Amino acid sequence: MQDDSRLQGTRRPGGRTARTRAAVFEAAMAELAENGYAGTRIEAVATRAGVALSTVYRRWGNLDGLIQDLVDEITVELPIPDTGTLEGDLTEVARIIVGLHRHPVHRPWLDALIMTAVRDPASRHTLTETIRVRIKRAATVVDRAVERAEIPAGTCADEAVRMLAAPFYYRIYISGEPIEEDLPERTAARVLAAIRAGTVRSGG
Amino acid sequence: MQDDSRLQGTRRPGGRTARTRAAVFEAAMAELAENGYAGTRIEAVATRAGVALSTVYRRWGNLDGLIQDLVDEITVELPIPDTGTLEGDLTEVARIIVGLHRHPVHRPWLDALIMTAVRDPASRHTLTETIRVRIKRAATVVDRAVERAEIPAGTCADEAVRMLAAPFYYRIYISGEPIEEDLPERTAARVLAAIRAGTVRSGG
């Protein structure tokens, strides 16, 4: 019981640097949630975090750099499922996607990133990089299934993840249709069927 | 050669009402392309079309009504492929989606509809209705394949279309990754594999 920071899920271990980082991230998420991407100022983030503006600039350069770092941290914290079967793992990955989009803190900045990318193509790199890192991370479950010979070698793991994720983003941001409770299982089954039929390979 | 309006693809047949409609639609698309959804005023559309503002109000009520009508007309004009096989038809539907998103006039208002829907959930109905009508229209090719016993009865046609369309919207609006030339064929093959495995049925 000596290290009581371990008892609080929201408190980060580490020294002053880690505390500054956590405070700035928390302030940035709150500002993004309240004001959206366009309305968020790096000055307001620093004030809210109780951190000198010069510290924020030195560390992240600008708001884009800060958001990229924040997004990377959240992505790295996303669990990689290991249920023992690819269908189980894909279902879990889909549930994680749904959970992120229902999360009161994560949803606003995802919306903000998407709106910014559509409005201003020059600033879309943050969203593209975020998604690229997430695809790579989730692709681990497909690579593992190839290793244990559950699915054919030559399956494109990134492409399988895109196929799994796309129907959720499509419903949330495009069609606006509700996400049925069993959609994660059903989408995982479809991706697996396509993989087994040998249709999920790298492009020519 | 009597009906020379048939020789010009951009000219619509019909009387004064049809000409007014065409002029207002053309003006609305130009305004949307230049100013986006948020910057488009119904007064500017009327002026540009050379049509009395009262006529526009009487006919469409407001800008949302006008855009909905415009979007419906474009959707109705989208061809429904009939190549003889479901794989061929799905590939064509996917190519039509790609074509719309590369079109210099259609892309801006699609972007505008999506941005507006993300920013303001209360106004997302126009986008949702647009997509709903498109899904229904494209679903015809799946229903036909069931009728000719190419695929199992009980296949959910709408769900097959969502599965086909989602990876394209995902790349365009979310991941920002390029659309490879053979993605329509490859996506069609994946959807067909999932249908044949019996995984594309209506939700429970």
Confidence band (pLDDT; 50, 70, 90) for A14?
low
Residue B7: its pLDDT value, please?
33
Contacts of B169 in chain A (CB under 8 A): 166, 169-170, 173-174
Q: Do the chains contact at A174 and B204, CB–CB below 8 Å?
A: no
Kindly report, residue by residue over B136-169, the tens digit of the pLDDT: 999 999 999 999 999 999 999 999 999 999 999 9
List, for residues A185-197, the tens digit of each pLDDT value.
999 999 999 999 9
Asked if A78 is an interface residue toward chain B (Cβ–Cβ < 8 A), one would say no
Residue B68 to residues A144, B25, B104, Cα–Cα distance (Å): 47, 11, 19
Q: What is the arithmetic mean of pLDDT over A172-185?
A: 94
Higher pLDDT, B191 or B13: B191
Res B1: pLDDT: 36
B117 CB neighbours in chain A (<8 A) are 173, 176
Could you give all domains of chain B from N- to C-terminal order, each with its CATH number? 4-62 (1.10.10.60), 78-196 (1.10.357.10)
Residue A4, pLDDT score: 36
Lowest mean pLDDT among A12-16, A93-97, A129-133, B171-175: A12-16
Token duo for residue A166: 């796309």
Confidence of residue B185 (pLDDT cuts 50, 70, 90): very high
What is the predicted pLDDT for the residue at B157? 97
Please choose, from the candidates A123, A173, A92, A124, the residue with its C-alpha nearest in 3D space to the C-alpha of residue B165: A173
In the block, which residue shows the tokens 């030195």?
A: A58
Q: Determine the Cα–Cα distance for residues A124 and A193; give it in Å rounded to an integer.
A: 33
Of A6-20, A44-58, B139-153, B158-172, the poorest mean pLDDT is in A6-20
> Which residue on chain A is closest to B130 by alpha carbon?
A175
**Residue B72 or A154, more confident:** A154
Closest partner CB to B193 (pick from A162, A169, A199) = A199
Using a CB cutoff of 8 Å and minimum separation of 24, what contacts does A129-135 make? A129/A68, A129/A71, A130/A68, A130/A71, A130/A72, A130/A75, A131/B174, A131/B175, A131/B176, A132/B175, A132/B177, A133/A72, A133/A75, A134/A75, A134/A78, A135/A161, A135/A162, A135/A165, A135/B175
CA–CA separation, B50 and A28 (whole Å): 48
